[in-house]
Chains A and B, each alone.
Chain A
């Protein structure tokens, strides 16, 4: 294999409770280190410039005293892995989507997203669920405007956000999943109009 011309550096990342060292290009982003270095492909690349939020991971200072002084939640705050240098992330305790579930099963946020139909294509949702998790970590029963604010850095193109709000509220225990019943339409006979002449002007 031809050697890559990229200069490599060794970084140590603390991801989902585990310290792992990996060689990456000096200018590699945290997202590249996670996806291609550590195989944690649950964090997604949607824009690679900090616009879409698909790469969101949670970060908390490794230094516990520092984290407490910063008022960090249990897993910290959302950061954008695509505009964070891998080298700069070595002082952080990171949670990716792979670290949200436990051996007991999915996190309530994940379960609610799956149950409420908040996952359509699913591509933005790892980042979305992590932002939602961070919100619930410090605001266990958020209002709708608080949810809208907390998720405003995560673009979703499928859902119109409606079922995402529902999922966050269901996970927070402030509502039940939607159970609306379809409305029946009665037969509505129609009468075709009189046959009209068709003129094919073009083609």
Chain B
């Protein structure tokens, strides 16, 4: 090993700095040597540990709660019940339907009803058993059908009609006429099982109140700004007295994008006791907190004209929401609004209903709302094309919608590299020579997809920027970037250093990024909807651009040239046509500070109005939901192998090409593609939230809820396609969610190529595969 001890790939002297470079992550060393601080790594003198008591009933009236015995327990410092935090909250302003602790109604097994703070975790846990809750058990509504049939039993009182969170029904063009006139049609039912994020870091919050009464909450959240707002609402404290800090985050995937009971309870207990309070979820509690993929039942029709063009798409969707709305209002829209690319639809109709049920609440898992209908649609498209004997790639190519177009539902698409994505995976997988020719039990399948790069409009209506960045230059040459954006592992803090390097020539290793601290950093709305690189990138570019002009002006005065002749090279400023005239970056900072007569600091923002305000989205109710300043595109090919005797199958390899506009850091983009594909394959293969007839989640552990190990994961080959979006920072679009979608239908379509079966129900368990194989064989016998 001795010869490898000296291995250093990242040469610090010639470190490439700017946009498009494979710059190692800014927090890489801290994550590599174990010094990085996550929420549960924080500790304070006199810190208490809190635990939550959860409902053992799926639907129950709470008559009374008695905490006196728990309070008498040695080591217990305080208890908390819902009456002390009665305000309702929720991430979406129109559906405030949650409480930190249930005051009178527990809505699922695992719903939070009381909290204890004690000197250590074990004592708090013991004390929970001493709390007595008098429940009146009510019938539990565990499926959306039951919940629709029993409007007399309310899962959540927030529902205006029965148990419906949201019903959306929109039609674009005469769908029935197009269906009637079509040459080929697929009309089938599909079921997408619910599954969950399972980040390896359990949720954790630590709260502390200082001597002046200011509250600080450190939380493993991907939405510090919304947590800040909701803490203020629920605690009744002015927001200016609350600080929310996001430490390093150990995975999120949408599972940490709601405010959670633990933040409110830790904060309230810190206020009650005057001592710091930590609340760390167990793995079991992470499962109950959920907010994962919504189970969806879909009735899908896809109709093609004789030339293979998509004449009509019709989708009726029933969504199982769980006990709270979370982002569910948006989910109902996304399940329809995000399907209308990368292909041109002649006509389109969807009818989507999200229903409350007595189960852990569903929410936004990576590819929010659109992964499920994408699966059904891409399988149906394959099936209809098969009737017309059109190759699966060819039908997708033929229906390509193109660039600078409007979709059937009024979404504006700018750049679109989908054709190139198809070409890349077609060639990499050897499709032409291998599709349909791999022999019994082996097959290839293709699918495409698109996704948003942020939402056109903020979650709560306002005219302030959606993202802000402050950049400060020190006379030492050190650059400090203050950014509200949440680095949840995707690497936005690294990108900020690269953008600074691109604009002003600093070495990214001379950049400090202060992020996600509501006291110190400008507001960013959070890491959701694949908005961060796009919006924070634009804000950072603007701030750095202003500093660039100041550095140029000052350096030009000293080096004797026009400001526009000053160019930046890593760590140096110089005259473009006379590079011998140069100075260090540090020198330039000092010249600029002297010239400006004030410290060097500038801000930048992402403003909705700069990118087509009032122009993005369709002109109808809900037409702006799903509207994005830019869309990413993806094509996958999956290869599978099936044992027809047992139904056991495996995905051998996935080739994924993703159009992210411009890869600001190809290593990070590849990581996002690979991680997305992995998660999609996992949903197809293994994962499902299973409940018993009382609403109890089966096996809330990482042993029973099986996420793929290295031995279960196929080989992943990620390719980056760059279409250069006119709206994105340096042309960039999203890469973190889009590449998940196509993995599932690509596998389903590969299973058809392998053995002629159409799987329409997730996950694709061997038992389901075997049943379909037997059905196929029965049909063959019947036909013969």
- A45, A117, A155: the one contacting B202 at CB < 8 Å is A45
Docked complex Cα distance between A32 and B119 (Å)? 15
| B-contact bits for A1-13, CB 8 A (1 contact / 0 none) | 1111110000000
CB contacts (< 8 Å) of A44 on chain B: these are 38, 200-201, 250
Docked complex Cα distance between A136 and B772 (Å)? 44
Main secondary structure of the interface of A (DSSP, over half): loop
Docked complex Cα distance between A100 and B675 (Å)? 27
Do B723 and A97 touch (CB < 8 A)?
no
Answer whether A186 and B250 are a contact pair too, CB < 8 Å, given A2-B75, A196-B408, A201-B170: no
Do A46 and B201 touch (CB < 8 A)?
yes
- B28, B120, B489, B620: the one contacting A4 at CB < 8 Å is B120
Do B702 and A155 touch (CB < 8 A)?
yes
Do B707 and A157 touch (CB < 8 A)?
yes
CB contacts (< 8 Å) of B659 on chain A: these are 185
Whether B413 sits at the interface, judged by CB under 8 Å, is: yes
Most chain B Cβ neighbours within 10 Å, of A119, A156, A160:
A160
CB contacts (< 8 Å) of A69 on chain B: these are none
Do B251 and A192 touch (CB < 8 A)?
no
Docked complex Cα distance between A10 and B351 (Å)? 64
CB distance from A168 to the nearest CB of B (A): 10
Residues in B509-566 with C-beta less than 8 Å from chain A: none
Do A47 and B31 touch (CB < 8 A)?
no
Do B678 and A161 touch (CB < 8 A)?
yes
Do B671 and A172 touch (CB < 8 A)?
no
Do A116 and B41 touch (CB < 8 A)?
no
CB contacts (< 8 Å) of A171 on chain B: these are 4, 7
- B120, B488, B667, B715: the one contacting A116 at CB < 8 Å is B667
CB contacts (< 8 Å) of A71 on chain B: these are none
Docked complex Cα distance between A153 and B401 (Å)? 44
Whether A142 sits at the interface, judged by CB under 8 Å, is: no
Do A197 and B173 touch (CB < 8 A)?
yes
Docked complex Cα distance between A106 and B490 (Å)? 22
Residues in A96-149 with C-beta less than 8 Å from chain B: 96-98, 100-101, 104, 106, 108, 110-117, 119-126, 129, 136-137, 140, 147-149
Answer whether A201 and B351 are a contact pair too, CB < 8 Å, given A155-B709, A161-B713: yes
Whether B168 sits at the interface, judged by CB under 8 Å, is: yes
| A-contact bits for B173-213, CB 8 A (1 contact / 0 none) | 11000000000000000000000011111100000000000
Do B172 and A52 touch (CB < 8 A)?
no
Q: Which of A58-66, A84-92, A175-183 contacts B (4 or more CB under 8 A)?
A: A175-183
Nearest-neighbor residue (CB-CB) of B717 within chain A: A162
CB distance from B5 to the nearest CB of A (A): 6
CB distance from B273 to the nearest CB of A (A): 11
CB contacts (< 8 Å) of A152 on chain B: these are 709-711
Do A98 and B674 touch (CB < 8 A)?
no
Whether B599 sits at the interface, judged by CB under 8 Å, is: no
CB contacts (< 8 Å) of B1 on chain A: these are 108, 136-137, 140
Do A192 and B34 touch (CB < 8 A)?
no
CB contacts (< 8 Å) of B4 on chain A: these are 108, 171-173
Do A198 and B199 touch (CB < 8 A)?
no
Most chain A Cβ neighbours within 10 Å, of B29, B347, B409:
B29
- B249, B415, B670: the one contacting A163 at CB < 8 Å is B670
CB contacts (< 8 Å) of B710 on chain A: these are 147-149, 151-152, 154, 161, 164-165
Answer whether A163 and B674 are a contact pair too, CB < 8 Å, given A52-B200, A193-B344: yes
Whether B248 sits at the interface, judged by CB under 8 Å, is: yes
Can you list 9 contacts pairing A with B, beta carbon distance less than 8 Å? A4-B120, A4-B123, A111-B8, A121-B248, A125-B32, A157-B679, A186-B420, A193-B344, A196-B173
Residues of A within 8 A of B (CB): 1-6, 25, 35-36, 40-49, 51-52, 54, 96-98, 100-101, 104, 106, 108, 110-117, 119-126, 129, 136-137, 140, 147-149, 151-165, 170-173, 176-193, 196-203
Given contacts A185-B659, A185-B722, A202-B168, 18 further A-B contacts (CB under 8 A): A5-B123, A25-B120, A46-B250, A49-B283, A112-B7, A117-B668, A152-B709, A155-B707, A158-B671, A161-B678, A164-B710, A171-B7, A173-B7, A181-B666, A185-B419, A185-B421, A188-B416, A190-B400
Residues of B within 8 A of A (CB): 1, 3-5, 7-10, 22, 24-25, 27-29, 31-38, 40-41, 43, 46, 74-75, 77, 119-120, 122-123, 166-174, 197-202, 248-253, 280, 282-283, 344-347, 351, 400-406, 408-410, 413, 415-417, 419-421, 424, 488-491, 618-623, 657, 659, 662-663, 666-668, 670-671, 674-675, 677-679, 701-703, 707, 709-711, 713, 715-716, 718-724
